[in-house]
Structures are given as C-alpha cells and as structure tokens.
Amino acid sequence: MANAIKRCWICGGVANSSEHMIKASDLKTMFPDASNQKPFYKHPPEAPNTAVPGIKSGLIKYSKTICSNCNNARTQPHDRAWEKLSQGLRSTNFTLKKGKKLPLYEIFGESAQIEMENVYRYLLKLFGCHCAEHQAPLPLTQIGCAILMNQHHPNITISFFAVPPRTNECVAAIGDLKAIRDSNGRVVCAAYWFGIESFGVIIQYSESEHPAIYKHGWKPHDTCLSMKLN
C-alpha cells in the first residue's frame, strides 16, 4: 500500500518542509564554522555525542510536518522577529538576570508590540512542530488556524527565563514535553522549553479551568508587554 501523503498541520498542504529545533540563525552564530571536519555535538539521552556536521543537517530538524510555503513565505516576518529578539538578547548590551525586565523596547523600539506578536507566532510554529513530532494529542489544527489568521491562540502563552553562564562553550538545550491530563486522560496542559546560551523560552498550552505547569505566560492582547525573566 502506498504511504499516505503527510499534510502540513498549518494549512493542510503537502508536508514537505522541516523546521529547525533551534533556529538555524541561532545555531549559525553559535557554530559559524560547523562542517564535516568541525562538527558540533548533540546529546540526546539515547545517543549522546552525536556529531552534527552543519546547520543544515537533518539531525537538528523536526521531521517534515509543514509545507515549504508555511515554513518560508507565510512565517517569514515571524522568523525575522525571532532572529532580532534572539540576537538582541544574546548581545553584550544586556545582562539577563532572573527578575529583570526583558529589554523589548530597547531591541525593537516602538514596534515592540507588533514584533513580539510575530515572535509569539514563530513560537506557535515551533510548538506545533514539536507537538507533531512527539504526536502530542493537542489541537494542532487550532494552532495552525492562529498562524493562518495572524491571531494568537487563547490557550498558548510564552515566557522567558535567564540561564546563568556555566561554561565557555556554546550550549543550546531542549527540554522534554511535559503534560497534565484530566481524569478522562485528555491533555489539558502541555509545555516544553528550550534554551540558547543566556536565555530560554517556555511555550505552554493550558486550559484555564485546569492547573498549569508554569505560571505567568504572555500572549498577544495581554494588556502589558512588560515581561520579566523567570
């Protein structure tokens, strides 16, 4: 029997594109010379010290769960906003510490609100790809709709945390997807985090009438853009 065509979880087109688990632009700044001769290393529990021969390697991408139009043209402003935020946060201009405000206006100027909405949608795409990869039973179609309609998802929030420096090595990390189920076994909250050098992000789906894993997330249309680092 022929394999069924996999569909893009955002638009329903043919899923022919893979999203990087950590954005390629972030990896490029961390490992600018990565190659077969000079790999960087990935440490999943099942295969620590896996050599990654460059930032285009499939080892650091999710499987193909979205289409190239959604991954490129549709979400380009979202990707660009993330790149600007990530570069800004990791620049030497800002010290990131628990309890300090995120320097969003310093990085984005007057367009901070609009750009953070774009950052949020980049994180929606990443969260959806992470959930699709792990076959998490979450409403991916709704998340896809939020991206298609340029809206937010009412149950998904983002928050940021500071990572104290530990070594001089460049480190990016991705946490496991955690979930809470209700008494019927339905997932009512799910979250995962990733970190890049000095800061990390938590993306959480949580239904308001159920307990959440993390507190204090932000989503577009929350009254205040002021976000503190956890």
Using CB under 5 A, list all residues that contact Zn ion: 8, 10-11, 13, 67, 70
What are φ and ψ of residue 59, in 5° steps? -65, -20
Place of tokens 């308001």: 208
Distance CA 167, CA 154 (A): 38
Report in angstroms how near the CB of residue 156 gets to Zn ion at its nearest: 19
Please state the separation of Cα 167 from the chain's center in Å.
23
Query: In angstroms, how far apart are the furthest CA atoms of the chain?
Result: 57
Report in angstroms how near the CB of residue 13 gets to Zn ion at its nearest: 4
Q: Which is nearer to Zn ion, 55 or 67 (CB)?
A: 67
* Kind and range of the H or E run holding 157: strand 156-162
Report in angstroms how near the CB of residue 147 gets to Zn ion at its nearest: 9
**CB contact at 8 A, 190 and 143:** no
Report in angstroms how near the CB of residue 11 gets to Zn ion at its nearest: 3
Alpha helices in the chain (DSSP H): 24-30, 68-69, 76-90, 104-108, 112-133, 140-148
- DSSP states of 67-85 as a string? -HHIIIIITHHHHHHHHHH
Q: Which is nearer to Zn ion, 11 or 171 (CB)?
A: 11
Q: Which is nearer to Zn ion, 57 or 75 (CB)?
A: 75
Q: Which is nearer to Zn ion, 29 or 69 (CB)?
A: 69
User: DSSP state, 169?
Assistant: S
Q: Which is nearer to Zn ion, 71 or 206 (CB)?
A: 71
Report in angstroms how near the CB of residue 144 gets to Zn ion at its nearest: 8
Q: Which is nearer to Zn ion, 27 or 67 (CB)?
A: 67
Report in angstroms how near the CB of residue 15 gets to Zn ion at its nearest: 8
Q: Give the bridge partners for 7, in sequence order.
A: 14
